[in-house]
Amino acid sequence: MIRVIIAGPRGKMGSEAIQMVNNTDNLELVACLDRKHDGKTLRDIESLPNMDVPIYENIEECFQQINADIFVDLTVPETGYIHTKAALKYHVRPVVGTSGFSTEQIEELTDIANTEKIGGLIAPNFAVGAVLMMQFAKQASKYFPDVEIIEKHHDQKLDAPSGTAIKTAELISEVRGSKKQGHTAERETVTGARGADFDGMKIHSIRLPGIVAHQEVIFGGSGQTLTIKHDSFNRKSFMAGIKLAIEEVMKIDELVYGLDNILE
């Protein structure tokens, strides 16, 4: 049995993760971390499952009192970074679904995991289809070096571009090389009209209510275009990836970035 702590139980992702853990035979929810309701249990909170699972506000206290194997963080980047450092310190394997970490933060956390010889995963997207989209985009960029990324998320998302868009651009850059796209004399009559620049390719972020998570990678070539698209219509789409991450992280002794690193 894999013992799991979940941070952010009242959030949409957190509540889905609780249901997933409860419905998985080899997983057991042993505690939750929340910025409210310290000392209460899940059954004390309206809309949460009727379970005697303790809630903690202080992560150090949580790890000191609860014996756990996996810490799932589905909060925000600033909090997630602090939580992940604490999890590694207490040898609880982190599975982090919070995007927005800087390259420096990821490198620091990776170094800590290597020193402690403990496995973990940070994933900008837990939807298996989104991971495949990124891999297909990387493959396509060998033949279509002109590419733009359009990512669409709900209007409460804090970071832009999304972690998925940045990860996609990073994977494409591994095989594409730097390339400035568009007309050499191109100019923006409204600042930002052409989107963010990543190694010469453009990334466009859309934030609207009613959207969950969607991304298109559009390639252009002579007389043709290729579009690789993924849509998450609800947060259940991420749960299979989180379950896979929990199980696979138990088998590794390093911190990896991206769900693709544990897919066969």
Is 98 labelled a binding residue? yes
For the question of residue 153 being annotated catalytic, the response is yes
Please check if 94 is assigned to a binding site. Answer: no
Ligand-binding annotation for 134, yes or no, is no
Q: Do the annotations mark residue 1 as ligand-binding?
A: no
> Residues 99, 124: contact at Cβ < 8 Å?
yes
Q: Say if residue 8 carries a ligand binding annotation.
A: yes
Candidates 153, 214, 230, 243; catalytic one:
153
Residue 36 marked as a ligand binder: yes
Token pair 């170094």 is at which residue?
111
Q: How far is CA 119 from CA 2, 245, 262, in A?
A: 14, 11, 12
What does the buried/exposed string (b/e) look like for 128-163 if buried means 16 or more CB atoms within 10 Å of the residue's CB? bebbebbbebbebbeebbbbbbbbbbeeebebbbbb
Judge whether 221 is annotated as a binding position: no
100 is in an annotated binding site: no
Helix H or strand E encompassing 247: helix 239-249
Told to judge if 157 belongs to the known catalytic residues of this protein, a careful annotator would answer yes
Long-range contacts of 107-114 (CB under 8 A, 24+ apart): 109/81, 109/84, 109/85, 109/255, 110/254, 110/255, 110/257, 112/85, 112/88, 112/255, 113/88, 113/254, 113/255, 114/254, 114/255
Q: Is 13 within any annotated ligand binding site?
A: yes
Is 77 annotated as a binding-site member? no
| Secondary structure class of 49 (helix, strand, coil) | coil
Please return the burial class of 186, using the count of CB atoms within 10 Å of its CB with bins 0-12, 13-18 and 19+.
Answer: exposed
Annotated active-site residue in 40, 85, 157, 202: 157
**Is residue 163 annotated as involved in ligand binding?**
yes
Q: Is 11 annotated as a binding residue?
A: yes
Task: Tell me the residue type at 233.
Answer: F
Whether residue 164 is annotated as binding a ligand: the answer is yes
123 carries a ligand binding annotation: yes
Annotated binding site for NAD(+): 8-13, 97-99, 123-126
Annotated binding site for NADP(+): 36
Annotated binding site for (S)-2,3,4,5-tetrahydrodipicolinate: 154, 163-164
Residues forming the active site: 153, 157
Annotated binding site: 8-13, 36, 97-99, 123-126, 154, 163-164
